[in-house]
Amino acid sequence: MTIHEILVKAALTLVDGADSRVVVFMDSPPSGVKESLPSSDIMTVLLGPAFDVEPGIIRLPIPRNLDIESSLNLVSAFLIEHGILREGESFVYVTSTSVGLKSAVRNALAAGGFFSQMGRVVQRLLEIAIELSVEGREGYPVGTIFVVGDVKNVLRHSHSMLPNPFRGHKINVLDDNSREVIKEFAQLDGAFIISSTGRINSAGVYLDVDPKSLDIKLPPGLGSRHIAAAGITKLTKAVSISLSESGTIRIFKNGMMLLEYNPRMKC
């Protein structure tokens, strides 16, 4: 029996003992695990790469390179947002090295509607932001903003800082070939504007956000990039991802910060 199989067996025992209705596998579970659950009513949650639902199983598009705490917070938000668990109820999770029990807690992620039709696009951009945070570009740190969705309204609250390099091109963030292109243009000042389906509308865009006129509640010490990223989501229905040159990634929706993560702290 492998270590992972031992952990899965321990998780199934914990599911039964904790009277939990959900078990989350952070890595691929052994085949037949659904049939091994103590009850057919228990929901199995698997991570990535795309959102999918079938009887008793949910697949969530959460980047594999995200840290476990942030991943579990996203899972918790989804379970509450979709009425699978109530706040305070627990779910069991299994990683490649551990088994744990986590309480579902209502937070900004649950309130922000993170899991929407553009979830795959946000997931891909989060993966790219994590890579940029760790690797930089040509040895230099990179700071940028990705704004996803509600393109028409976003453009009303922004202006171009340079000729649009994506005009006339159908480049989609969900296309694997776009990854290096996005990283290259991330060196430009300004933000990327991206549709909810993943098509890149423009880059090098300045977001016209007046923080004094908006009720934005952010932690102290955040600079203009993060204020702009938060503010545009207050003015529109977009989601934004900001990457600071220090490597910290933040996701904003409805003017709220949904997630904060610095992959460099894990390196």
CATH code at 59?
Answer: 3.40.1380.20
Domain's final residue, options 111, 141, 165: 111
Residues 166 and 86 in one domain: no
Residues 238 and 149 in one domain: yes
d(CA 143, CA 247): 8
d(CA 2, CA 14): 19
For the chain, strand residue ranges (E) read: 22-25, 43-47, 52-54, 57-60, 90-94, 99-103, 144-148, 158-160, 191-194, 200-207, 239-243, 249-253, 256-261
Q: Torsions phi, psi of 59, nearest 5?
A: -110, 125
Domain count across the chain: 2
pTM of the model: 0.75
Digits of tens for pLDDT over the chain (267 positions)? 677 678 878 888 888 788 888 999 887 766 666 666 666 678 888 886 667 777 788 888 777 777 788 888 888 888 887 888 888 899 999 888 889 999 887 765 555 556 665 677 888 899 899 999 988 877 778 899 999 999 999 999 999 878 888 988 899 999 989 999 999 999 888 999 999 999 999 999 999 988 777 777 777 777 888 889 999 999 999 999 999 988 999 998 888 888 888 887 754
DSSP code at position 31: T
Domain's final residue, options 111, 145, 160: 111
Residues 91 and 187 in one domain: no
Place of tokens 């996701």: 251
